[in-house]
């Protein structure tokens, strides 16, 4: 579920369809959206094909809980930044 703050930043856990690996796993990413511009951060959470619906929604309750907890933590950090910092934010995905 997307979470937004007073500075209009939205953080949502997502599964990117084009990123499935041969072993049937995919890293959960956090989509951070500010001023209609999205950036993606790869997390250390792995989803297996059986944990995800055809539409890309997580159906495993444990994985949902962990994803939402991480999204909330990131949301809390971003809520402390001013809009100038958010506009110049650079996300490097290793």
pTM of the model: 0.73
Q: Considering only CA atoms, which of 66, 59, 69 is closest in space to residue 3? A: 69
SS3 state at 57: coil
Euclidean distance between CA atoms 94 and 18, whole angstroms: 17
| Domain layout of the chain by residue ranges | 3-81
Tens digit of pLDDT at every position of the chain (94 positions)? 555 444 678 898 888 887 888 898 999 999 988 888 888 888 999 999 899 888 888 889 999 999 999 999 988 888 887 766 666 665 555 4
């Amino acid at each position: 579920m997307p979470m937004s703050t007073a500075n209009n930043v939205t953080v949502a856990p997502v599964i990117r369809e084009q990123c499935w690996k041969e072993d049937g796993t995919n890293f959960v990413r956090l989509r951070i959206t500010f001023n209609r511009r999205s950036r993606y951060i790869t997390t250390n959470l792995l989803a297996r094909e059986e944990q995800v619906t055809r539409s890309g929604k997580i159906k495993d309750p444990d994985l949902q809980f962990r994803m939402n907890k991480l999204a909330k933590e990131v949301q809390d950090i971003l809520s402390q930044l001013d809009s100038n910092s958010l506009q110049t934010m650079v996300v490097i995905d290793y």
